[in-house]
């Protein structure tokens, strides 16, 4: 039996919130975690339609013209996560772990590998056999030659933000208007496309959290949406 003190993980499903609101929320929680005022947090949510450009992204990877974006209500947002361009939208479960990797998990490769392990286990419980790919070009989780989950993280003084996106029941057509993760020939997929089953995002979030606390050795604490939001405006 370990004599280390238990490390709590506050978690919950926030529903649909805007990408800018989620960034403000992550910064606020990250600062509190870093200062020791708050335990680790795992935010689950979904976004309205948005293409996000990571630190290595090029605007040329957004293939759609401004009129197409405006007609469909798709935002384009730059961010400080790793990786290139990806899509977030309804039917996709986004996970933002804001956890302190100090003192024993200060290893970026291990952190990304652990996120992949969580996603593979979550998918297995939902009847999907998937595999991680660890090269920088193909980072994420794949089902044969199709990508079902993407990972893009930011780590500052060993406190994490951003995270992963799992296609649960996502409209995959939106990926056609970008070069996802810089891979021109990538095929995206979803749990619904693979299995024919339609799961709620809150259901998948609960399964994912179970595997997350197992991999990261945390004690889960389910908290209300309004507590997780720390009074930030949650915009649709």
Nearest CA among 53, 107, 61 for reference residue 80: 53
Catalytic residue check, 79: no
- Cα 42 to the center of its chain, rounded Å: 10
Q: How many CB atoms lie within 10 A of CB 199?
A: 17
Rounded to 10°, the helix 201-216/108-125 angle is 130
Nearest CA among 18, 12, 34, 21 for reference residue 231: 21
| Bond prior to 103 in cis (omega within 30° of 0) | yes
Among candidate residues 79, 181, 208, 209, the one labeled active-site is 181
Where does the chain show beta strands of DSSP type E? 8-16, 40-46, 50-53, 75-78, 85-88, 92-98, 131-133, 140-143, 146-156, 159-167, 187-188, 219-222
- Pairing mode, if any, of strands 50-53 and 75-78? parallel
Q: How far apart are CA 223 and CA 13, in angstroms?
A: 9
Residues with a catalytic annotation lie at 181
């Amino acid at each position: 039996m370990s004599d280390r003190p238990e490390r709590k993980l506050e978690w919950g499903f926030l529903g649909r919130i805007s990408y800018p609101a989620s960034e403000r929320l992550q910064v606020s929680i990250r600062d509190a975690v870093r200062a020791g005022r708050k335990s680790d947090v795992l935010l689950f949510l979904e976004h309205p339609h948005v293409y996000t450009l990571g630190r290595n992204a090029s605007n040329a990877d957004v293939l759609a013209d401004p009129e197409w974006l405006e007609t469909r209500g798709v935002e384009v947002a730059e961010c400080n996560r790793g990786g290139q361009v990806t899509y977030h939208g309804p039917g996709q479960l986004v996970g933002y772990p804001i956890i302190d990797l100090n003192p024993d998990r200060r290893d970026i490769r291990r952190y990304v590998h652990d996120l992949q392990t969580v996603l593979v286990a979550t998918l297995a419980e939902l009847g999907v056999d998937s595999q991680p790919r660890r090269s920088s070009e193909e980072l994420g989780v794949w089902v044969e030659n199709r990508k079902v989950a993407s990972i893009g993280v930011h780590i500052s003084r060993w406190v994490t933000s951003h995270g992963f996106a799992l296609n649960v029941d996502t409209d995959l057509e939106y990926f056609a208007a970008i070069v996802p993760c810089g891979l021109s020939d990538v095929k995206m997929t979803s749990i619904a496309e693979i299995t024919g089953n339609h799961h709620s995002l809150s259901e998948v979030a609960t399964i994912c959290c179970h595997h997350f606390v197992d991999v990261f050795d945390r004690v889960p604490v389910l908290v209300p949406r309004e507590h997780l939001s720390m009074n930030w405006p949650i915009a649709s």
